[in-house]
Amino acid sequence: MNPILKSSFWMIGAIASFSTMAVAGREISLDHDTFEIMFYRSLVGIVIVTAALSLARRWGEIGFERIGLHTVRNLSHFTGQNLWFFAVGVTPLAQVFAIEFTVPLWVLLMSPIFLGEHITRVRAFAAILGFVGILVLTRPWTEPLTPGILAAAGAAIGFAGSAVFTRRLTRTESLGTILFFLTTMQAVFGLVMAGLDGDIALPTLVSAPWLFVIGCAGLFAHFCLTSALALAPATLVMPIDFARLPLIAAVGWVLYQEPLERAVVIGAAIILTANYVNLRAGVRESR
């Protein structure tokens, strides 16, 4: 299978996982703060990753040669993820995801600097077209800047940095190594930040299943995203994530009665068109 198409299938898995995590995060936003969610999510991830490494007998591939880059990558993601969990708790899901989808634009700016990737005119056009779709959907000029919107914007920058550094790590590090440091580092970050106030809320019978879902969905999302980034450039992979927007808009409408307005439909159509343009360009370039 063409590696570009293969990376697209991995991104479908990431899209489904991130959407599931958003719903779970909304459900427990009143029971746990974002640092606690990240801590418990990472604990679930540690159990899964260590079990997988043990069963596959691949502990020998874990090394500390790129520990600095792992740290930068995970700090970027930890910051973005905490802002994201805050945003999904206080802002309509479609709006959070729409603002988050400025990630490909940040990736476009970062990739030539950190990855040396070339930006073609077609890919730049696809990213800009996708952003136009986001503007149509969110109409930011009609809405005040709330803490949730600002948090979603900050999350986008954090996720872009995480994607760029993940792509760089895939050049030398195995998938197991990347996920191992993802879960262990972010568990430490989450524990430290959650414990600053001296009060870490324990899971309840209601929140525990949702925390488990977040842990599994978050880990699988990163498994899919890392696999996609190992197959194709970040400037191609990340705009595929735009397809998550119409999905989460529908979820917000069905589960939380968030209005599905005409602007959402038009914006989603523009975004899907941008994805098609981007994928077509990537397939042609890989031949």
Report the C-alpha gap between 25 and 34 in whole angstroms.
9
Q: What is the pLDDT of residue 69?
A: 93
Written as six digits, the tokens of 90 are: 């206080």
* pLDDT tier for residue 96 given thresholds of 50, 70 and 90: confident
Q: What is the pLDDT of residue 50?
A: 93
Tokens 């206080």 found at: 90
Report the C-alpha gap between 90 and 3 in whole angstroms.
38
Written as six digits, the tokens of 34 are: 């974002």
Burial class (CB in 10 A: 0-12, 13-18, 19+), 63: exposed
* pLDDT tier for residue 279 given thresholds of 50, 70 and 90: low
pLDDT at 67 over 80: yes
Q: Which residues of 232-246 are buried (b: 16+ CB within 10 A; e: fewer)?
A: bbbbbbbbbbbbbbb
* pLDDT tier for residue 115 given thresholds of 50, 70 and 90: confident
Q: What is the pLDDT of residue 132?
A: 83
Tokens 């697209």 found at: 8
* pLDDT tier for residue 239 given thresholds of 50, 70 and 90: low
Report the C-alpha gap between 273 and 43 in whole angstroms.
39
Torsion of CA 205, 44, 159, 164, to 10 degrees: -170
Burial class (CB in 10 A: 0-12, 13-18, 19+), 115: middle
Report the C-alpha gap between 203 and 37 in whole angstroms.
10
Nearest to 149 by CA among 195, 84, 67, 199: 84
Q: What tens digit of pLDDT does each residue of 31-40 get? A: 888 899 989 9
Across the chain, mean pLDDT equals 83
Q: What is the pLDDT of residue 22?
A: 84
Cβ atoms < 10 Å from Cβ of 145: 9
Q: Is the pTM of this model over 0.85?
A: no
Q: What tens digit of pLDDT does each residue of 188-215 get? A: 999 999 888 778 888 889 899 999 999 8
Q: How far apart are the first and last CA of the chain?
A: 12
155-172: average pLDDT = 88
Report the C-alpha gap between 195 and 184 in whole angstroms.
17
Q: What is the pLDDT of residue 76?
A: 94
Q: What is the pLDDT of residue 78?
A: 93
Report the C-alpha gap between 203 and 14 in whole angstroms.
26
- Let me know: does 194 contact 95? Beta carbons within 8 Å: no
Long-range contacts of 49-55 (CB under 8 A, 24+ apart): 49/176, 49/179, 49/180, 49/183, 49/219, 50/180, 52/176, 53/176, 53/180
Q: Concatenated DSSP letters for 40-51?
A: HHHHHHHHHHHH
